Amino acid sequence: MSKKVHPYAHRMVILRDWKSRWFATDKKYSDFLRADIFIKEYLAKKLKNSFVSVIEIERSRNGARVIIKTSRPGVIIGRQGEGAKKLKEDLLKMMKKNAIVIPEELKVDIVEVSNPDADAKIVALSVVEGLEKRMPFRRVLKQTLEKIMAVREVKGARILIGGRLNGADMARTESVKKGSIPLQTFRADVDFARERANMSYGVIGIKVWIYKGEVFDKDKK
């Protein structure tokens, strides 16, 4: 019997790295894990409209580094870096409020995603934006797929949406696909993301798969 496996977890260590990178003993482990969950949830909520691809956390003995990868770094950084300073201050306030262990040195790095049309999370967020603006879902899917396939490194893509499409009484799923997506091949670089669009008539779920070819040498990533 087959099982559905998340493409990211499926390729862990082979092609992918952990999104939280640190080592801790028994007591510190639970504190760090709780802190990571709070930080990621807080930033995801605060930067909802900033097209954030991923939030990574690295910890050393005395410090912590939060890496925010986004396609709109200017929106987060703000004029003369004011936005980034405010974000760090708000993050420290949130940590203090929730009794989270504050590291001696906290860095917040904002990194630009070089190719947003080949990033599954950003693509899923752009589909959400289109649907929430009440654009016809078929047009949104078609235009998004064309944008993805226009990227040279992309070999295949699939977008699936499910729910009460166009406010229909019965929920259904619709999908568009182009090229190949080898989900079972470990060396296949498949990016995957899930998002949800909150419509007036209910929630529409969105899934995006993007295949960027096979990786034979780990150092190439």
pLDDT digits (tens, 9 = 90+) for 140-180: 999 999 999 999 999 999 999 999 998 899 999 999 999 99
Q: Give pLDDT, residue 1.
A: 56
Q: Where are the beta strands (DSSP E) in 52-147?
A: 52-59, 63-70, 105-112
Average pLDDT for 179-190: 92
Q: Give pLDDT, residue 49.
A: 85
Asked whether the beta carbons of 94 and 106 are under 8 A apart, the reply is: no
What residue segments make up the domains of the chain, in order of their start?
7-112, 116-216
For residue 128, name the pLDDT band (cuts at 50, 70, 90): very high
Q: What is the pTM of this model?
A: 0.88
**CATH homologous superfamily of domain 7-112?**
K homology (KH) domain (3.30.300.20)
Average pLDDT for 76-81: 87
Q: Residue 198: beta bridge partners?
A: 203
Average pLDDT of the chain, as a whole number: 91
Q: Which CATH class is domain 116-216?
A: alpha beta
Task: Compute φ and ψ for 173, nearest 5 degrees.
Answer: -115, 145
One-letter amino acid of 80: Q
Taking the C-alpha atoms of residue 69 and residue 43, their distance in angstroms, rounded to an integer, is 12
Taking the C-alpha atoms of residue 79 and residue 81, their distance in angstroms, rounded to an integer, is 5
What burial class does residue 191 get, using C-beta atoms within 10 Å of its C-beta: 0-12 exposed, 13-18 middle, 19+ buried? buried
Tokens linked to 216: 């034979």
For 13-40, what is each residue's pLDDT tens digit? Answer: 888 999 999 998 888 899 899 999 999 9
Reduced to 3 states (helix: H, G, I; strand: E, B; else coil), residue 190 is strand
